[in-house]
Amino acid sequence: MTLTRLAAAGAAAACLVLGTAGAAHAQEQPQINVSPRVFTPGQAITITITECTQKPTINAAEATRVFTAVPAFTGTPGEKWTARQATRSNLIPGKTYTVNLTCTVGEQTVKGSITVNPGKKPSPKPTPTKPGSPAPQPSSPVPVPSGPINTGDGSTQDGGSGTTLLAGGAAVALAGAGMGAFALRRRAGRERS
């Protein structure tokens, strides 16, 4: 009987494969958790494994490709084992790295792996200034605007004829008169009923 357990969340995942050694009766299944799930190269991550009755072991050759040193697990047999280690600063964001590990649960040998996929380092954010402190000065002078305001189509500039304004005014007056006549007619119709 082979059982695969996969827990993934974006940038970090943990995978366990339970072996067939031992009796067929049900035992607690180990769980692997990697925290933080999203990390940047050089940041420390914590690996937590539950239910292992002996100290988990990790593949040293694979671990040193991902971590600055082989993570050392500490904890209580049958409960929780934890290892915290910094990741290498030269990990490539978006590339997947896998590290195999082994733990024992009762009579069963459990082989699993953690798969990490580092994210990009966030871009630096400007630091806010305290109230009352001067605003940061730009590195180059800001040009002062000069000349006339550049808006519109220029039809009224330099003594335009005003035909456009006259036509627009007439349209507004005609619309107003039409709405007034409509309102009076509705009112008169209600009074007769």
| pLDDT, mean of each 10-residue run, the chain (193 residues) | 29 33 53 87 92 90 93 92 93 88 85 80 64 62 59 54 73 85 75 64
Cα gap 71→85, rounded to integer Å: 6
The pLDDT score that the predictor gives to residue 10 is: 29
Residue 30: exposed, middle, or buried by beta-carbon count in 10 A (0-12, 13-18, 19+)? buried
* CATH for 3-116 (1.10.3470, 2.60.40, 1.20.140, 3.40.50): 2.60.40
The pLDDT score that the predictor gives to residue 162 is: 65
**Helix or strand run (H / E) with residue 182:** helix 163-192
Q: Where does the chain show beta strands of DSSP type E?
A: 3-9, 12-18, 31-35, 44-50, 57-58, 74-75, 80-86, 97-105, 108-116
The pLDDT score that the predictor gives to residue 108 is: 84
The pLDDT score that the predictor gives to residue 157 is: 54
Predicted TM-score (pTM) of this structure = 0.50
The pLDDT score that the predictor gives to residue 113 is: 79
The pLDDT score that the predictor gives to residue 105 is: 87
The pLDDT score that the predictor gives to residue 116 is: 80
The pLDDT score that the predictor gives to residue 65 is: 92
Per-domain boundaries in the chain: 3-116, 161-193
